[in-house]
Amino acid sequence: MSNQISKFSRRFFLGIVTAALIVSCNQTQDNLSQSEQQAEAATQSGRVNIYSSRHYNTDDELYDGFTEQTGIKVNLIEGKADELIERIKSEGANSPADILITVDAGRLWRAAQAGIFAPVESEVLEEKIPANLQDPDNQWFGYSKRARVIMYNKDQVDPSQLATYEDLADPKWKGKVIIRSSGNIYNQSLVAGMIEEQGEEATAKWIEGLVANFARPPQGNDTSQIEDVAAGVADLTLANTYYLARYQDNPEVFEKVGIFYPNQDGRGAHVNISGAGVLKNAPNKENAIAFLEYLASPEAQEFFALGNNEYPVVEGTPVNPVVESFGEFEDNTVNVSAYGKNNADAVKIMDRSGWK
């Protein structure tokens, strides 16, 4: 009987010890799991992952400034806008991307239509970013402006002869206009903006007249148009102002090409944007919103102005002195989301009207 009690005691004791060990192991695992989770949370809280189609090396200073100000590290993936949009879609809920940055409002609109952005509620952004330079549903915000204007050969054209975009269709300019192709998103957005304000019929008529004045078939980029106007290949072109600013140390181009801001007695000069939005599956959403708000800060806005010769969107930000020398102007206040909404119609009209 005593042996049976002894066996029972040993079993009972072993059971208690085993249970205690199991509890201890579980607690250890829980503690490790909590530690891992805390470590992961700390890692997540210290970074923001950006997909960007802005291909300017100077933007590195922008990211460094954000890290210096907040302690949040920027991880950057660069690529073409459409490729990045498709990548985000294919990555789905597992996408590491927090933010998409791209140039042209049409591309931002396209990304919003793909369902990859999340609306952002921010008093900072609403206060600082003009309403016409942001998505009506707060899915993306513009941070810099780029004016697409008339550029002319100073030896061949008196600026008093210039007035509007529409005037470029006047027969007096026959054989004197060069431009890049209709496949260029900047040209597509210019046309889309005209559709928004003038309708398809008037826009098509303008393009037909413009095409009739081409000195050559559309080719090249903005840079080549500016260089060829300087060389006397043609008298006029349409290009973004920051491209000419890059020639400030090249008098053979810079001093021979003038800038004219069209439609100053009407709707104003056409402007496009660089912009960004927070992605729907962003793993670091708070950091992403902090980054968007940083882009509207005085430091970041001044960087856009000085680093890439763009126009800042926040009032009161100083403009690059070279760009400032081009003169002040009134810009169009149509909501830039129209560039995306009307893009398909713009491309059709350009094709039908002979703008290849």
238: exposed, middle or buried (Cβ count in 10 Å: 0-12, 13-18, 19+): buried
Domain with 233 in it: 146-270+332-352
51 & 125 share domain: yes
| Residue 329: both structure tokens together | 């102007």
**pLDDT tens digits for range 175-210:** 999 999 999 999 999 999 999 999 999 999 999 999
Q: Which residue has the tokens 């210019």?
A: 190
The pTM score is: 0.85
Q: What is the DSSP letter of 139?
A: S
Q: Please indicate, yes or no, whether residues 255 and 155 belong to a single structural domain of this protein.
A: yes
116-151 pLDDT tens trace = 999 999 999 999 999 999 999 999 999 999 999 999
Do residues 186 and 279 both lie within one domain?
no
pLDDT at position 58, please? 77
Q: Are residues 160 and 239 both part of a single domain?
A: yes
Q: How many alpha carbons fall within 13 Å on the CB side of residue 158?
A: 2
Q: Which residues of the chain carry a pLDDT beneath 70?
A: 1-45
CATH classification at residue 80? 3.40.190.10
Same-domain check for residues 222 and 346? yes
Residue 135 lies in a domain: yes
Structural contact between residues 76 and 260, judged by C-beta atoms closer than 8 angstroms: no
C-alpha distances out from residue 130 to 135, 300, 306, Å: 10, 16, 20
Number of domains in the chain: 2
Task: Look at residues 208, 196, 217 and name the one whose alpha carbon lies nearest to residue 169.
Answer: 208
Interatomic CA distance for residues 258 and 244, integer angstroms: 9
User: What per-residue confidence (pLDDT) applies to 43?
Assistant: 42
Q: Give the pLDDT confidence of 93-125 residue by residue, as tens digits.
A: 999 999 999 999 999 999 999 999 999 999 999
Specify whether 214 is located in the same domain as 344.
yes
| pLDDT of 352 | 95
What is the Cβ-side half-sphere exposure of residue 94, based on CA atoms within 13 angstroms? 3
- Same domain flag for 70 and 150: no
Residue 78, in any domain of the structure: yes
Estimate the share of the chain in helix, then strand, then coil, as percent rounded to the nearest 5. Answer: 50, 15, 35
Task: Please indicate, yes or no, whether residues 121 and 161 belong to a single structural domain of this protein.
Answer: no
